[in-house]
């Protein structure tokens, strides 16, 4: 019988590339064509409604019901003109994926006909049954109602299927009692908090003309593409998104021949198709290239306002998976699909920008405005220093646990890279000297602030949080994550820090200090207090792990423990004070994340046991049988013990590995049972992390040893070299 593996190999070799014809070679001709943009609003909405929506987008103003009816009608007419039949509220529950429940515009009338209808009420609010979404114990099942509510700041868009189109309305998702059940609601609150704090600081010290600010985010997305047929033959890839067993290929990434290499034709066609779909949805994709690992790729859009950037990234992951199906690929967004090979991340490039167009994290040649830059810059450092554990928690997940600190990925230690020039600037600030960084600063009154001309080649790719010239790059975020977790934390700690900065500086000014001196004194104190978080060396090295311990920086490797930072007293105060989460919401979220960890490891454990028993051991035994028959035949033919020694030793070796696997699978089953029966979800998660997961290793090791030993013909699972190199 043909195995799935041999069928897969055959299939892949006969794959044809799928021809794709974008609507035009000029992206500008179809960019945003499936988005209810400002210009479509102008065309389809009455003046009054258009004004109200614009104000809602720009200033967060509320839209009343009568206007909502007008907007709904305009939106429906626009959508129908594009061939849309259904609409859905599109939201981001705490499952990590996006959710949609489609309703038809179609409505039967009493006289037996039908009309297309979409009322303001249906635009503004919906009531999906929330009982199947994670809620962390917030709701009892008898009050399982949840509400989705329209977020006008992210435009509605059309999702195209091959046989129909759906209007998607971005929404927040809250419980009947008002607690957030999604990522977007707290994100919008955190953004609001930081924007207010930024305006406040700018107005007080630097620029009275700033009346608004916004947060920018550019998300680089790494992913793997593996042929669909290979995935079907690998239950672990199908169910967990990663390979639970598999021998590293003889050729991995050591030749460094994949990074920026020429893109394989089938992948190239996928990329064109995927980009076309993204452009229609207004996702401003800019770059595409091969990544370091074989079969690993990356794409990155231009930066956008955070809420939009995250909606776009969530949408991008969804579109990517759907388009890949057309090209018979499966997208692996898991942080570590293959052992011993680079994992995938999602770098979050983040900055703060004012209504006057100033990027507050971009240094300038003008020392006077550099005091503004330095203020924001040093406050980022202080915020990250004070809440490093919380930031670490914001990227904690079962998948990212494999990546942090493994092959070419930042460790679980939070540190900031700022580059040699900024180090010099901060050091001279501390020592009250003007930096010799091409300084003309002596000519103006803020003597201590230098001109800062950054050398943009000063990069460090091993830091989890790096300054890259005009933005910070949070590189430790996992590839499958909803970036909202990281962005909620980063923007909340920044808001809180800026408020503290303002209070401390004001206090000094009140005491009679000059503004610049007061600011510099506070910044100096911050730099001194948070210096230990700065690290310029190789974040991937063992020396750094030792050095970080000396500095007292935490290195929390396991997810359940890392998540504890969410419910520490300082985090609770931070979130409650800044009105991002109340305590009920925070506890619920914590519970959900622990639960998610348990579920993920539970699935992996059960699948690993299944693979070991039904695939690995039988393959080992089959080969053993062949060898035993061979030995018997040799003996029958009169060969001596010495002659059959090699075969006999192989049989023994196989037996040894089979035994190791069998013993550890039994242990795994015992520990699984125990882990499920703990006093709390956190204790369960800890048991999964410290008792269940460690058993994966001996099973994998022996399984991989068997893969090395067993006759290739008897091995039914596609091998690493086949999944990664056969295209």
Q: Given the rule CB under 5 A, which residues bind Mg ion?
A: 347
Write each residue from 288 to 327 as x if it is in contact with ligand ADP (CB under 6 A), else as -, in one continuous string: ------------xxxx------------------------
Please tell me whether residue 356 binds ligand ADP under the rule CB under 6 A.
no
Considering only 253, 349, 491, 558, the residue that binds ligand ADP (CB under 6 A) is 349
Which residue matches tokens 């596609």? 718
CB of 352 to ligand ADP, least distance (A): 9
Considering only 54, 153, 470, 662, the residue that binds ligand ADP (CB under 6 A) is 470
CB of 6 to Mg ion, least distance (A): 40
* Helix, strand, coil share (%) of the chain residues, nearest 5: 50, 15, 35
The residue with its CB nearest to Mg ion is: 347
Which residue matches tokens 């359940």? 560
The residue with its CB nearest to ligand ADP is: 218
Please tell me whether residue 370 binds ligand ADP under the rule CB under 6 A.
no
469 binds, among Mg ion, ligand ADP, none (CB under 5 to 8 A by kind): none
303 binds, among Mg ion, ligand ADP, none (CB under 5 to 8 A by kind): ligand ADP
Of 19-27, 347-355, 419-427, 503-511: span binding ligand ADP (CB under 6 A): 347-355
Strand-pairing partners, residue 301, are 285
Q: Which residues contact 712 (CB under 8 A, 6 or more apart)?
A: none
If the CB atoms of residues 220 and 561 are measured against ligand ADP, the closer one turns out to be 220
Please give the Cα distance from 340 to 250 (Å, whole number): 11
If the CB atoms of residues 421 and 468 are measured against ligand ADP, the closer one turns out to be 468
Q: Which long-range contacts (CB under 8 A, 24 or more apart) does 621-628 make?
A: 621/654, 621/658, 622/710, 622/714, 623/654, 623/709, 623/710, 623/711, 623/714, 624/651, 624/654, 624/655, 624/658, 626/711, 626/714, 627/651, 627/654
Q: Among candidates 167, 338, 146, which has minimal Cα distance to 241?
A: 338
558 binds, among Mg ion, ligand ADP, none (CB under 5 to 8 A by kind): none
If the CB atoms of residues 153 and 470 are measured against ligand ADP, the closer one turns out to be 470
Q: Are 126 and 89 in contact (CB under 8 A)?
A: yes
CB of 347 to ligand ADP, least distance (A): 6
Within 198-227, which residues bind ligand ADP (CB under 6 A)?
A: 216-218, 220
154 binds, among Mg ion, ligand ADP, none (CB under 5 to 8 A by kind): none
What's the half-sphere exposure (Cβ side, CA atoms, 13 Å) at 427? 11
Write each residue from 150 to 169 as x if it is in contact with ligand ADP (CB under 6 A), else as -, in one continuous string: --------------------
Q: Are 172 and 148 in contact (CB under 8 A)?
A: yes
If the CB atoms of residues 222 and 311 are measured against Mg ion, the closer one turns out to be 222
R_g of the chain computed on alpha carbons: 29
* Torsions phi, psi for 538 (to 5 deg): -80, 105
CB of 198 to ligand ADP, least distance (A): 14
216 binds, among ligand ADP, Mg ion, none (CB under 5 to 8 A by kind): ligand ADP
Please give the Cα distance from 153 to 162 (Å, whole number): 28
Please tell me whether residue 429 binds ligand ADP under the rule CB under 6 A.
no
CB of 461 to Mg ion, least distance (A): 8
DSSP secondary structure string for all residues of 63-127? --HHHHHHHHHHHHHHHHHTT--EEEEEE-BTTSS-EE--EESEEE-TTS-EEE---HHHHHEE-
Q: Which residues contact 15 (CB under 8 A, 6 or more apart)?
A: 227, 266, 328
Strand locations in 136-264 (E): 146-150, 157-160, 165-175, 213-227
If the CB atoms of residues 227 and 291 are measured against ligand ADP, the closer one turns out to be 291
CB of 536 to ligand ADP, least distance (A): 17
Q: Which SS3 state, helix, strand or coil, does residue 652 take? A: helix
Give contact residues for ligand ADP (rule: CB under 6 A).
216-218, 220, 300-303, 349-351, 359, 468, 470-471
């Amino acid at each position: 019988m043909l195995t799935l593996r041999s069928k897969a190999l055959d299939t892949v070799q006969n794959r044809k590339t799928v021809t794709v014809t974008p609507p035009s070679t000029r992206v500008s001709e179809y960019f945003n064509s499936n988005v209810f943009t400002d210009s479509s609003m102008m065309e389809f909405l009455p003046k009054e409604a258009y004004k109200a929506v614009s104000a809602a987008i720009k200033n967060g103003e509320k839209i009343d019901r009568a206007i909502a009816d007008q907007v709904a009608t305009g939106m429906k007419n626009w959508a129908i003109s594009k061939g849309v039949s259904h609409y859905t509220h599109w939201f981001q529950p705490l499952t990590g994926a996006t959710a949609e429940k489609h309703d038809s515009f179609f409505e039967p009338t009493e006289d037996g006909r039908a009309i297309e209808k979409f009322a303001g009420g249906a635009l503004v609010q919906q009531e999906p049954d929330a009982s199947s979404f994670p809620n962390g114990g917030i709701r009892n099942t008898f009050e399982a109602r949840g509400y989705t509510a329209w977020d006008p700041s992210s435009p509605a868009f059309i999702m195209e299927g091959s046989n129909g189109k759906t209007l998607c309305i971005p929404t927040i998702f809250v419980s009947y009692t008002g607690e957030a059940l999604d990522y977007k609601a707290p994100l919008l609150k955190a953004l609001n908090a930081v924007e207010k704090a930024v305006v406040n600081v700018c107005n007080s010290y630097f620029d009275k003309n700033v009346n608004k600010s916004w947060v920018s985010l550019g998300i680089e997305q790494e992913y793997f593409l593996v042929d669909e047929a290979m995935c079907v033959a690998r239950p672990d890839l199908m169910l967990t998104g990663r390979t639970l067993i598999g021998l590293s290929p003889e050729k991995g990434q050591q030749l460094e021949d994949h990074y920026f290499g020429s893109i394989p034709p089938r992948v190239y066609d996928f990329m064109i198709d995927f980009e076309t779909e993204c452009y229609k949805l207004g996702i401003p994709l800019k770059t595409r290239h091969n990544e370091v690992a074989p079969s690993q790729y990356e794409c990155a859009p231009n930066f956008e306002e955070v809420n939009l950037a995250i909606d776009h990234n969530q949408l991008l992951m969804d579109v990517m998976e759907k388009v890949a199906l057309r090209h018979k690929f499966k997208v692996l967004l898991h942080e570590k699909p293959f052992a011993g090979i680079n994992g995938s991340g999602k770098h979050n490039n983040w900055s703060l920008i004012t209504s006057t167009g100033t990027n507050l994290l971009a240094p300038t040649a003008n020392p006077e405005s550099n005091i503004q830059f330095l203020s924001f810059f040093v406050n980022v450092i202080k915020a990250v220093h004070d809440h490093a554990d919380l930031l670490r928690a914001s990227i904690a997940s079962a998948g990212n646990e494999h990546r942090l600190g493994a092959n070419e990925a930042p460790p679980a230690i939070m540190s900031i890279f700022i580059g040699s020039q900024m180090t010099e600037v901060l050091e001279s600030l501390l020592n009250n000297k003007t930096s010799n960084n091409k300084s003309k600063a002596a000519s103006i009154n803020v003597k201590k602030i230098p001109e800062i001309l950054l050398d943009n080649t000063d990069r460090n790719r091993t830091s989890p949080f790096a300054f890259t010239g005009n933005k910070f790059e949070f590189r430790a975020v996992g590839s499958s994550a909803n970036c909202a977790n990281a962005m909620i934390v980063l923007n909340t700690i920044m808001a809180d820090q800026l408020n503290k900065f303002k209070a401390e500086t004001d206090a000094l000014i009140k005491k009679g200090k000059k503004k610049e001196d007061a600011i510099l004194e506070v910044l100096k104190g911050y730099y001194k207090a948070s210096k230990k978080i700065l690290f310029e060396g190789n974040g991937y090295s063992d020396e750094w792990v030792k050095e970080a311990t000396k500095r007292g920086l935490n290195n929390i490797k396991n997810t359940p423990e890392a998540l504890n930072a969410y419910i520490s007293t300082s985090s609770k105060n931070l979130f409650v004070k800044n009105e991002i989460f109340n305590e009920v919401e925070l506890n619920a979220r914590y519970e959900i994340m622990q639960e998610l960890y348990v579920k993920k490891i539970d699935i992996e454990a059960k699948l690993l046991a299944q693979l070991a028993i039904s695939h690995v051991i039988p393959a080992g035994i089959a080969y053993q049988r062949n060898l035993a028959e061979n030995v018997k035949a040799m003996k029958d033919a009169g060969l001596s013990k010495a002659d059959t020694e090699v075969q006999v030793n192989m049989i023994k070796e196989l037996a040894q590995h089979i035994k190791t696997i069998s013993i550890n699978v039994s242990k795994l089953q015992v520990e699984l049972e125990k882990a499920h029966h703990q006093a709390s979800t956190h204790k369960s998660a800890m048991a999964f992390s410290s008792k269940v997961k460690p058993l994966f290793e001996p099973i994998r090791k022996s399984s991989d040893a068997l893969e090395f030993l067993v006759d290739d013909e008897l091995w039914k699972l596609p091998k690493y070299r086949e999944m990664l190199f056969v295209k």
